[in-house]
Amino acid sequence: MEILDQGKGELFVDPDPDKLRGFFRGKNRKLIDKCMTLKDAVDKFVNNGDYLGIGGFGANRTPIAACHEILRQGKKNLGFAGHTATHDMQILSAGEAYDRIDVAYVVGLEARGLSSCSRKYLESGKVKITEWTNYSLTVRLQAAAMGVPYLPARNIMGTDTFNYSAAKMAECPFTGKKLALLPALSPDVSFIHVHEADMYGNARFKGIATSDIDLAKASKRLIITCERLISNDEIRRDPSSTKIPYFLVDAVCEVPYGAYPGTMPYEYFSDEEHIKEWMSTEKDPDAFKEFLDRNIYNVKDNDGYIMENGGLKKMQKLRRKEFLFKEED
């Protein structure tokens, strides 16, 4: 195949599907109890230098508790898929946990504005950056999920986003049209937060899927954090609801409010006050250090973080907000 053009960005993950198949060949298929604490899961499955995938979109159904644990354990030199990475990126930037990033959407928190902490870290020169787009990263995960080395798409051509990506361009053998070839992306380890999972890792979530089904299939190791554990009987009673099958999963961690301060659909809405506090505090290094200690480094786990921020009362309030109850406050 003749390559017509190619981006000059670095390709951080080898797209060879036979290497991925080789890895999956060795993965345990048995129905075994995979429940453990998030602390143990991060300790066991996240290595310094790994390429990390984070599920959800923006601060929605995003495994925030896992990001905190990555900071607490001081994981470093990670690669990171910045697929509408907002508050998760803010946390990982605060801990300088990654040193290379595939950018689709970073630094911003959508309508809330830009994170000065994420911005400073990307501007520091400490991070290698390759540019993509949200759909490009979705397609790259889809390629890995399919077990092929790349997929063609018709976006990004003609732009600097292509020039600073690691995509290539070639002519379609059927139509003669130009196509962007997007290389498969299989993260070493990913976290996805869901509503319910059984002890084996069969997982369900409600609401939009974003790109999580492909992320689950593409990732070498997958850690599910869930709002609630459910029985295997319940999974078998309603198999149409299973979104992620157990054999993709390495660990199941029950972490209620694991997406806080983001939104968990049908459970709780985002805590905008707390996110605002993040965004104002991160501008002052001393205050920010104290803030991170209080919310992340000096708390034991997500329960500690929730207690630090209003506990069950706050969570109940955010639940009422999710369901659009009007209330005075």
Partner 1 sequence: MADYNMMEMMISVASRELENGATVGVGTGAPCAAAMLAQKMASPELIIMFEAGGISPELPEMPISVGDSRTFHKALMAGSMGDIMESCSRGFVDYTFLGGAQIDMYGNLNSTVIGDHANPKVRLPGSGGANDFASFCWRMMVMTPQDARRFVEKVDFMTTPGWLEGGDSRAESGLPLDAGPYKIITNMAVMDFEPVSKRMRIISVNPGYSLQDIQDNCGFELLKADKIVETQAPTEEELRILREEVDPYGYVIGR
Nearer of residues 40 and 110 to partner 1, judged by Cβ: 110
Q: Give CA 87 to chain center in angstroms.
A: 11
Q: Among the residues of 46-189, which ranges form H helices?
A: 64-72, 87-94, 116-123, 134-146, 160-163
Task: Calculate the alpha carbon distances from 9 to 24, 44, 76, 131 in Å.
Answer: 28, 31, 22, 7
**Contact letters for partner 1, residues 164-203 (x by CB under 8 A):** x----x-------xxxx-----------------------
Helix (H, G, I), strand (E, B) or coil at 26: coil
**Contact between 157 and partner 1 per CB under 8 A:** yes
Q: Which of 7, 53, 58, 79 binds partner 1 (CB under 8 A)?
A: 58
Q: Structure tokens of 117?
A: 């902490």
Other C-beta atoms lying within 10 Å of the C-beta of residue 307: 12
**Contact between 105 and partner 1 per CB under 8 A:** yes
Specify the residue for token string 């143990």.
40
CB of 214 to partner 1, least distance (A): 7
CB of 212 to partner 1, least distance (A): 8
Q: Fill in the DSSP letter of residue 297.
A: I
Nearer of residues 46 and 141 to partner 1, judged by Cβ: 141
The CA-CA-CA angle for residues 189, 256, 229, to 5°, reads 80
Residue 58 CB contacts under 8 Å (≥ 6 apart), including other chains: 84, 86, 87, 109, 110, 262
**Contact between 209 and partner 1 per CB under 8 A:** yes
Which parts of 7-46 interact with partner 1 (CB under 8 A)? none
**Contact between 143 and partner 1 per CB under 8 A:** no
CB of 152 to partner 1, least distance (A): 10
CB of 205 to partner 1, least distance (A): 10
**Contact between 219 and partner 1 per CB under 8 A:** no
- Do 182 and 133 contact (CB within 8 A), yes or no? no
Exposed, middle or buried: residue 160 (CB in 10 Å: 0-12, 13-18, 19+)?
A: exposed
Q: Which of 63, 82, 95, 261 binds partner 1 (CB under 8 A)?
A: 82
Q: Which of 57, 191, 200, 278 binds partner 1 (CB under 8 A)?
A: 57
Q: Give CA 226 to chain center in angstroms.
A: 14
Chain residues binding partner 1 by CB under 8 A are 56-61, 82, 84, 86, 103-108, 110-112, 114, 119, 122-123, 125, 129, 131-136, 138, 142, 153-161, 164, 169, 177-180, 206-214, 263, 265-266, 269-270, 272, 322, 324
